[in-house]
Every structure is written in C-alpha cells, then in structure tokens.
Amino acid sequence: MEFDWSPEERRFREELRAFLEAELPDDWGAIAKDGPGSDAQAAFSREFCPRLAERGWLTQNWPAEYGGNDATAWCHAILGEEMWQCGEPRGAQYMNVNWIGPTIMQYGTEAQKAHHLPLISQGKVLWSQGFSEPEAGSDLVALRTLALRDGDDYVVNGSKIWTSYVNHAQYCFLLVRTDPESKRHRGISVLLCPTDLPGIEIREIPSVVGDRYFHEVFFDDVRVPVSCRLGPENEGWEVVAHALQYERVGAARYARAALSLDELARRAAERGLLADHSILERFGAARAVCEAARMLVYRVIDLRNQGSPPTADTNVARVAGTMAEQAVSELALEIFGPDALEYGSFADSHFRLAMTAGVAVGATEINLNLVASRFLGLPRE
C-alpha cells in the first residue's frame, strides 16, 4: 500500500487547475448554479469539452485507438475530481466519457465504435440514459418499453422517466425489451438511439431539484435501425450491469461535497461560528464522512487501475458518497439558516444537487442490498 500521487499525477492536476482557471469565465458560478443538466451548462459544455479534447484530456483514460491517451484510472479520477469540484463544466458529457464510451468499446460493432467514439472523444455529442420507467425504478428489470423487430428496424413503444439531460442529448442509451414474452433479466437489449427520430416526445417534469432536471420520454412507433443495437439481442442485461458498475462512482460528487464544506467553513469562520464547539464538531464529522467517501472511491479506482473486475466496493463507495453529500448539504442549510432559503444561494444550490444523491444512479437501498450480499456474504432468503 502507498497513498501518494506520482509526480506525473501531481503535474497533471496542476496543469488542469491552470487550464480551468484560464477557461472558466468570470460568470461561471452563475452558469453552474443549476447543475450539469441546465441549459446554460449544456451550452457551455459544447464549447468547453472540445477544448478539453484538444488538450487530450477529455477521454485521456481511453485506449489510444479510440481517441484516448491510455492514461491511468488515477489520472481520470483526478480529472473527475477537478471537474466536479468546480461544478462540472463538462455538463452531461462526463457520462459519455465515464461509462457510455467504455461500454460501446466493450460491446459495440466496429461501425458503432467508428461512429460514436470519435464524437465522444472530440466532445461533440451529448448523451442521456434511458433506464427508468414508470413501473421500473429500482426494479429495473421490470422494464416494459418494447422494441419489436420489423425488417431492419425495431419499432419502439413505451416510455422512460427521470431521464436527465435528454433535452440536450443527441443520443439515448436506451434499455428495451426485445422479446415480448420474456421476463426479468432475459429479453432485454440496449439501443444506441438517436433522440431526433420521429415518434419521440420529450416532456419536462417540473421538480424542486431545479429546472430541466427530470424528463419523461415517450416512444410512439419509433423506428430504430437494428444496427443501433449494442451487444446481442435479448442479452443486454450484461451490458447494463457492466455500464452500471462504471456509472455508480463515475461522478466525483464527493469532491464537490468536500469543496463545498471548505467554502462553508470559510464563511462560517467569517461569521465567528467556528469558535462554537458544537459547530466545530459538526464540521469535523462532515469532513470525516467526505474523506471516508474519497478513500472508498479511491479503492474502486485502484481496483479498476489493476484491471480487476467490478466488486461490491463500488456499492460501498456509492453509499459513502451519498452520506457525504447529505452531511454537507444539511450542514450548509443549518449554518446559513433562513438565508439558505433563497433560490440559487450557495446552500440552496448544494442542497438541491445533494438531495438526489440517495436516489440517483441506484437507490441507496439497492446499493445496501448489494453490499449485504456481495460484500458481507449475507443470504438472500
């Protein structure tokens, strides 16, 4: 065991910080206040990601043959930390880089790789994730959206819900049932579905999290070419499981929580609040939870860096990350008091993003189920 960054990794972080200092505009705080899914941030990401790509950083952890630099999982983690710390200027494109691209590399045809991977690695495309349905949330395999084969197309009918970023996305990583007689894990396929096909309708679901955060997507006789299917027909669950492992700790949200806590402490110190022992204790406890989340995510990155198959360490890290976000956001509200109630305030912005942490990318209960069975070896029944 050793817990130091290499000189190359340190240098990379410094270069990245200098790059962000130069590239982020003065009004970046205003652009970023509503999170990666907002119109402002999506628009910014379309300019920012190509610049990141020009430096070779956007998909640096990908193999060179797909537009990457074969950088280590650690360098990619540094990129994620620095991006999330400042509010994620990549917008939704972090998903492309973290798990959509790698899943296409793993399961895609040569034609799919040739089409999609350059778009992602050049920062020219936004994706969304079509997983949840009204009757298939945590129980994802209950999904019903049907894709029936008709010649060279699938005809897709059904709906997806809670689909973040789809309002800006050109593609949707879409889970469908291709065998109408099938149940549960069998009979599911993945479609790399363009979002501009006739018959697709996107509606925003207003929420307290923020504008343009959740959407519902309706598919009415949408013809998706069979060539858009990722992986074997009816055996898409393996593809999904692969993607989910990368997704769950894909976003370095713990880094944002830790940075927000630093900022909160700075503001609390200005108001003389850190002289209060009970407040100091709450800061210490929140800091410890953030640091624990960081180390647990690092453990997952270390396993990835060694080329190990995904383990339940991912679920452990995800639960810890949620604890960190919630600890910081609750403290922020309490420190700022009624000032936190103003929309767009520091505490409000952090709270709105953090309040989804226990639900987004797999409910905490699902992660705890997996920790219990795979990490602790507890019996199912």
Partner 1 sequence: MDFELSPDQSAILEAVGALLDRHAGPARAIELAPKGDYDHALSQALDDAGFTAIARADEAGALEAALVVEAVARSCGVMSAGAEILVAPMVCGRNLPGPIALALAGSDVPVRYGAHARTLLVSDGEEARIVSLEPGHVQAVESNFGYPMGRVAAPPGAGESLGPGSGPALRSWWRLAIAAEAVGTMGAALDVTLDYVKRRRQFGRAIGSFQAVQHRLAQCAVWKEGSRWLTYEAAFHGAPPEGAATAAAHAVDAARRVFNETHQFTGAMGFTREHDLHAWSMRLWALRLELDGAAGQRRAAARSRWVGAS
Question: Measured from the CB of residue 97, what is the shortest distance to partner 1 in angstroms?
Answer: 20
Q: Which is nearer to partner 1, 120 or 317 (CB)?
A: 317
Q: Does 270 bind partner 1 (CB under 8 A)?
A: no
Could you tell me which stretch among 147-155, 171-179, 230-238, 290-298 binds partner 1 (CB under 8 A)?
Answer: 290-298
Measure the CA–CA gap between 254 and 4, rounded to whole angstroms: 19
Q: Which of 23, 233, 238, 262 is in the footprint of partner 1 by CB under 8 A?
A: 262
Q: For strand 127-130 and strand 171-177, is the pairing parallel, antiparallel, or unpaired?
A: parallel
Q: How far is CA 229 from CA 47, 233, 248, 275, in A?
A: 30, 7, 23, 60
Restricting to residues 322-341, name those near partner 1 by CB under 8 A.
323
Restricting to residues 62-121, name those near partner 1 by CB under 8 A.
74
Q: Does 371 bind partner 1 (CB under 8 A)?
A: yes
Q: Does 11 bind partner 1 (CB under 8 A)?
A: no
Restricting to residues 303-322, name those near partner 1 by CB under 8 A.
303, 305-306, 316, 319-320
Q: Which of 3, 21, 26, 111 is in the footprint of partner 1 by CB under 8 A?
A: 3
Residue where the block lists tokens 């309706």: 218
Q: Does 148 bind partner 1 (CB under 8 A)?
A: no
Name the token pair of 266.
Answer: 């700075």
Q: Does 139 bind partner 1 (CB under 8 A)?
A: no
Q: Does 381 bind partner 1 (CB under 8 A)?
A: yes
Of 138, 135, 140, nearest to 366 by C-alpha is: 138
Residue where the block lists tokens 């593809």: 239
Q: How far is CA 153 from CA 218, 223, 229, 349, in A?
A: 18, 6, 10, 43
Exposed e or buried b for every residue in 26-43, given b needs 16+ CB within 10 A? eebeebbbbbbbbebbbe
Question: Measured from the CB of residue 328, what is the shortest distance to partner 1 in angstroms?
Answer: 13
- Among the options 8, 247, 263, 281, which is catalytic? 247
The neighbour count for residue 308, using CB atoms within 10 Å, is 11
Burial bucket for residue 297 (CB in 10 Å: 0-12, 13-18, 19+): buried
Asked whether 260 and 227 are in contact (CB, 8 A), the reply is no
Q: Which is nearer to partner 1, 10 or 149 (CB)?
A: 10
Question: Measured from the CB of residue 138, what is the shortest distance to partner 1 in angstroms?
Answer: 13
Asked whether 85 and 255 are in contact (CB, 8 A), the reply is yes
Q: Which is nearer to partner 1, 212 or 304 (CB)?
A: 304
Could you tell me which stretch among 27-35, 131-139, 234-242, 364-372 binds partner 1 (CB under 8 A)?
Answer: 364-372
Q: Does 22 bind partner 1 (CB under 8 A)?
A: no
Question: Measured from the CB of residue 91, what is the shortest distance to partner 1 in angstroms?
Answer: 28
30 three-state secondary structure: helix
- Torsion sign (Cα): 364, 185, 301, 128: negative
Q: Does 208 bind partner 1 (CB under 8 A)?
A: no
355 three-state secondary structure: coil
Task: Clarify whether 235 is annotated catalytic.
Answer: no
Asked whether 67 and 55 are in contact (CB, 8 A), the reply is no
Q: Which is nearer to partner 1, 110 or 381 (CB)?
A: 381
Could you tell me which stretch among 94-102, 184-192, 299-307, 349-357 binds partner 1 (CB under 8 A)?
Answer: 299-307
Of 352, 347, 348, 358, nearest to 324 by C-alpha is: 358
Q: Which is nearer to partner 1, 13 or 124 (CB)?
A: 13
Catalytic residue ranges = 247
Where on the chain is the footprint of partner 1 (CB under 8 A)?
1-5, 74, 262, 265-266, 269, 274, 277, 280-285, 287-289, 291-293, 295-296, 298-299, 301-303, 305-306, 316, 319-320, 323, 365, 368-369, 371-373, 375-381
